[in-house]
Amino acid sequence: PSQSSHLESTEVFQTTHTLTKSNLSNIHVLGQLDRKYIICTTFSPTTLLAIDQHAADERVRLESLLCELPDTVRCPPISFCLDEFTTRLVEKHAAWCSTTGVTVIVNDGIVHVSSVPRLLLSQNIEEVVKALVIWREENMIGKVASVLWDAVCLKAC
């Protein structure tokens, strides 16, 4: 064979390959490398892949937790006082908070929470409510509120 027909041992080809769920059905697993990577091949185009097991596991858990986000549970009633500005924000955005799984009402300047996503039960609920309404006031519509995203990511790791 001529020099141009084979790769020199020092040459490395690197490419970015996006895996989709449909791609996964066409993967052939060859084995495990160093208990860290799953080595596989794809058939169209033929590609050798090394998948980081830790990253893949985190991704699967993250997607699973995102599906759990709407899983709201009633909690023992939690009541607290906030500063006047934040309390007005809670009143203004109470209906939107319920779309995140946080049921909140304000009576006589006191904030009452009766349900939260199961994922947030271990969080400081007062801080969660403040973060949600401040985040909403900044009109970051269409994205997962950062307080929810942070809780999901923390649990996935």
Q: What would the pLDDT profile of 79-97 be if each residue is shown by its tens digit? A: 999 999 999 999 999 998 8
Rounded Cα gap, residues 75 and 95, in angstroms: 18
Are the CB atoms for 134 and 144 separated by under 8 Å? no
User: Whose CA is closest to 126, among 59, 80, 72, 89?
Assistant: 80
User: Whose CA is closest to 91, among 76, 77, 105?
Assistant: 105
**In the predicted model, is pLDDT for residue 107 greater than 90?**
yes
Cis peptide before 45 (omega within 30 of 0): yes
- What pTM was computed for the model? 0.52
Q: pLDDT tens-digit profile of 1-45?
A: 444 455 555 556 666 667 777 777 788 899 999 989 999 888 766
Rounded Cα gap, residues 140 and 137, in angstroms: 8
Residue count of the chain: 157
